[in-house]
C-alpha cells in the first residue's frame, strides 16, 4: 500500500514529533512509505491510499476535505499549539458540511476574537505556545456587529450579533465550556451585540463572554442575548461576504450558508501521543 506521511513544519510542536513512533504505529513492511515535510497544502499529493498528516487544527481541516471526503484512509497526528479538535476525540466518524461541499470537524465561527484562529503568527505560536493566542486576543477585542439571521427547524434568531459559533467539541479558545458535548453532535452559540459605540459594545459583550466561556453550558440555553443549543441542520443568512475561522483556517462565506452533519465512510484516527 502507498502511504504518505505529511508533516506540517509550521505547526507549533512539529519539532517534537517522534517520526519513528508514527511509522512503527501506523505502517508495516509492505507499505511504500514517503515522508514529506511541508509548510503548504500545495505540496500535498493525492497518490497514496493511506495518508498520515501531522499538524494543528488547520492541518486536520485540510486533510478532512482533501482525503477523508474522498474515502481515503486518514490518520491524524496532533502536533499543533492547541489541537482543540483532537483533545476530546479518539477518532472522527462525522463532520459538519458547509453548503454540502466543505467539511469541518471542530469549529466554524465569526465575530469577536475569531480572527485570532487564523491570524496568529506561526513564529509566535512556536515561541509562546498558548500565550500567543492570549496576546493576540488582548490586542483584538473589537466588536463588529453583524446582522445575522439563523434558522433551524425549531427556532430563529435575527439580531445584531457579536459572535456566531458552530462547535463540534467540548472546548474553544482554550475554555472547556460545552458540558453538553456528545461526539458527532454540532452545537451553535449566538451572542447579541448591543451598544451605540465601541465602548458600549465592549462593555455589554464582555459579561456575556464570561457567562458562556467561564460558566459554560450543561443544558440548552435560549435567552434574549445568548443561545446555545445542539443543531442538526441550520441556515445562516449573512449581510455580505463574511470571514469565518473554520478549524483554524480563514474561509470567506457569503449570503446564505447551510450547515448539516455527514457520516464519513472511513473513520479518521486521531493520535495525540506521538510527541517526544
One digit per residue, pLDDT tens: the chain, 276 residues? 899 999 999 888 889 999 999 999 999 989 999 999 998 888 898 889 999 999 998 899 999 999 999 999 999 999 988 777 767 678 999 999 999 999 999 999 999 988 887 665 566 555 645 555 555 566 678 999 999 999 999 999 999 999 999 999 998 888 899 999 998 899 999 999 999 999 999 999 999 999 999 999 999 999 999 999 999 999 999 988 999 999 989 999 988 999 999 999 999 999 988 888
**Domain range summary for the chain, segments of one domain joined by +:** 2-95+265-271, 107-262
Q: What was the pLDDT predicted at 134? A: 56
Q: What is the Cα–Cα distance from 186 to 166, expressed in whole angstroms?
A: 7
**β pairing state of 146-151 and 2-8:** unpaired
Question: What pTM was computed for the model?
Answer: 0.90
Whether 257 and 109 have beta carbons less than 8 Å apart is answered as no
Q: What was the pLDDT predicted at 170? A: 92
Q: What was the pLDDT predicted at 124? A: 58
Q: What is the Cα–Cα distance from 244 to 250, expressed in whole angstroms?
A: 6
Q: What was the pLDDT predicted at 167? A: 96
Topology at the third CATH level for domain 107-262: Tumour Suppressor Smad4 (2.60.200)
Q: What was the pLDDT predicted at 24? A: 94
Q: What was the pLDDT predicted at 131? A: 55
Cα 145 off chain centre by:
22
DSSP helix/strand/coil, 92? strand
C-alpha cell at 43: 505540496
Q: What was the pLDDT predicted at 256? A: 94
Q: What is the Cα–Cα distance from 198 to 195, expressed in whole angstroms?
A: 7
Domain 2-95+265-271 has CATH 3.90.1720.10: no
Amino acid at each position: 500500500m502507498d502511504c504518505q506521511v505529511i508533516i506540517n513544519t509550521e505547526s507549533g510542536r512539529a519539532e517534537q514529533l517522534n517520526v519513528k513512533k508514527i511509522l512503527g504505529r501506523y505502517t508495516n513492511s509492505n507499505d511504500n512509505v514517503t515522508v514529506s515535510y511541508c509548510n503548504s497544502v500545495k505540496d500535498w499529493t493525492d497518490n497514496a491510499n493511506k495518508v498520515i498528516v501531522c499538524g494543528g487544527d488547520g492541518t486536520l481541516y485540510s486533510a478532512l476535505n482533501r482525503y477523508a471526503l474522498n474515502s481515503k484512509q486518514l490518520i491524524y497526528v496532533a502536533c499543533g499549539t492547541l489541537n482543540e479538535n483532537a483533545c476530546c476525540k479518539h477518532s472522527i466518524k462525522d463532520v459538519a458540511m458547509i453548503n454540502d461541499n466543505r467539511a469541518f470537524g471542530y469549529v466554524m465561527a465569526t465575530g469577536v476574537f475569531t480572527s485570532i484562529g487564523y491570524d496568529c503568527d506561526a513564529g509566535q505560536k512556536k515561541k509562546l505556545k498558548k500565550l500567543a493566542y492570549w496576546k493576540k486576543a488582548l490586542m483584538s477585542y473589537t466588536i463588529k456587529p453583524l446582522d445575522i439571521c439563523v434558522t433551524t427547524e425549531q427556532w430563529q434568531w435575527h439580531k445584531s450579533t457579536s459572535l456566531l459559533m458552530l462547535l463540534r467539541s467540548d472546548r474553544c479558545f482554550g475554555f472547556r465550556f460545552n458540558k453538553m458535548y456528545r461526539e458527532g453532535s454540532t452545537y451553535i452559540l449566538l451572542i447579541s451585540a448591543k451598544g451605540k459605540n465601541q465602548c458600549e459594545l465592549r462593555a455589554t459583550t464582555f459579561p456575556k463572554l464570561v457567562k458562556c466561556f467561564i460558566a459554560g453550558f450543561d443544558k440548552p440555553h435560549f435567552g434574549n442575548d445568548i443561545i446555545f443549543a445542539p443543531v442538526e441542520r441550520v441556515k445562516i443568512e449573512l449581510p455580505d461576504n463574511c470571514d469565518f475561522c473554520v478549524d483554524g483556517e480563514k474561509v470567506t462565506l457569503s449570503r446564505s450558508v447551510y450547515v448539516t452533519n455527514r457520516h464519513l465512510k472511513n473513520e479518521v484516527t486521531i493520535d495525540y501521543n506521538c510527541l517526544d
